[in-house]
Amino acid sequence: MVEIVENMLHRLTARQKELLEAENPTFSRDEMERRRSALAEAMHMAGASHVLLSGGDRRGSAIQWVTGWPPGAQHYVVFTPGEQDALFVKNPNNAPLARILAPNARVDWNPQGSTSLAIDELTRRSAKGQSVGVIGSYSHGLHERLSAAGLKPVDMSRDYTRLRLVKSEEELELTRIGCAMTDAAVEALERHVRPGMSEYQLADIIERAYAPWGGVTQIHYTGVTSMTDPNCCVPSQLARNRKVAKGDAIFTEISVSYWSYSGQIQRTIAVESAPSPLFKAMHDVAEASLEAIFGVMRHGTTMDEILDAASVIDRSDFTICDDLVHGYVGGYLPPILGTRGRPSAPVPNLTLQEGMCIVVQPSIMTKDGKAGLQTGEMVLIRRDGIERLHKAPGGFRQTGSA
């Protein structure tokens, strides 16, 4: 494991090492003002005078993006252009750290509850009768309470999603750290997995590669199946006490987050055996589609161009069991695409933009659903192509070869 961690550190720049060694990484004043200006412009377009940021998902929390505090559910920020942010935490023990991580916000807790405090703050800011944008977790109960207070809630979650599509250079520095940790996790799995281990132990290998450096599990899914008698086509979202055997394939989807900025990688590993003919054929299709899609991705790429490149899957004897393409970092973002033969969602009317982080993950499976595997990773869209953010070796991996 020491060698894996050293590889991770060698892949970081001097600036990224500074961020990794900081007590907590912070963004520049210019970066934070850029975000606030972008949010204010989105408010203007939506006709909202104030915004209520509602916590819940640390993967793409608007509260963290605006203030620096990565909250759970029932934390709120009242945002009004030209005024200090008011951050209301759910529990009294949340307040001390919130004041450290969100130093420019006024942090408060009260036994009456964070929702009541947020509504009182909006009333104090003369929001009654005005449109209030809501971003984040938004229940029917919250809608009723806002309406009962004379506020006019407007769902701005789509507007916020649009703001997160393109990453700034400062955001990309943290993203690259998350990618390096994700690489370390998949390389550790390849190096240390052995027959007889359970899926629980695979999770332990994965997490040990990044937890000592402040990495946080966003996801780590693994599928384990015999390559000669397969019965699994997709990585399991929950680890089980299933044992690894010689001749198995382990296919995994790993995303490690560093202060909510993450990578994502998919790999397939043969355990003490060469790939079986079926698994080799599936992996060949996965690799062909991956390279075809990477080959067309650049600033200005249309969805039709991506779907045309993905047609190698539809022409094969296989299909996919998951989304083929999706945006990432700051949420599970557009564009979300399958293939023309197996779509994932309505095809969005957009083109790729420089600065987007896009995951391409061919999850190839047999049409009877008995066998499957994954390969792929997240890339950064540049003006004339892509930047490969991950350094872990590709191809059909084999145990002990990292």
Which domains, from first to last, does the chain contain? 29-164 (3.40.350.10), 169-398 (3.90.230.10)
Pairing outcome for strands 106-108 and 86-88: parallel
Q: What is the pLDDT of residues 62-86, one digit of tens each?
A: 999 999 999 888 899 999 999 999 9
Q: Taking residues 373-386, what's their average pLDDT? A: 98
Q: Taking residues 174-195, what's their average pLDDT? A: 96
Distance CA 55, CA 262 (A): 19
Query: pLDDT confidence of 273, banded at 50, 70, 90?
Result: very high
Q: Taking residues 272-287, what's their average pLDDT? A: 97
pLDDT at 400: 58
Please indicate whether residue 108 or residue 400 has the higher confidence score (pLDDT). Answer: 108
pLDDT at 118: 97
Name the amino acid, one letter, at 275: P
Half-sphere exposure (Cβ direction) of 208: Cα atoms closer than 13 Å: 16
Query: pLDDT confidence of 58, banded at 50, 70, 90?
Result: low
The DSSP 8-state label assigned to residue 166 in this structure reads B
Q: Taking residues 29-44, what's their average pLDDT? A: 97
pLDDT at 8: 84
Our measurement of the distance from residue 115's CA atom to the centroid of its chain's CA atoms, rounded to an integer in Å, reads 27
Please determine, for residue 402, whether its predicted confidence score (pLDDT) is greater than 60.
no
Tokens 């299909």, residue located: 319
Please determine, for residue 59, whether its predicted confidence score (pLDDT) is greater than 90.
no
Lowest mean pLDDT among 56-60, 174-178, 214-218, 304-308: 56-60
Share of the chain above pLDDT 70, in %: 98
Please state, rounded to an integer, the average pLDDT across all residues of the chain. Answer: 95
| 237 CB-near residues (< 8 Å, 6+ apart) | 219, 221
Distance CA 361, CA 1 (A): 26
Say if pTM beats, i.e. exceeds, 0.85: yes
pLDDT at 138: 86
pLDDT at 401: 53
Q: What is the pLDDT of residues 280-292, one digit of tens each?
A: 999 999 999 999 9
Q: Taking residues 252-274, what's their average pLDDT? A: 97
Q: Taking residues 214-221, what's their average pLDDT? A: 96
Pairing outcome for strands 325-327 and 318-320: unpaired
Distance CA 346, CA 332 (A): 15
Q: What is the pLDDT of residues 331-359, one digit of tens each?
A: 999 999 999 999 999 999 999 999 999 99
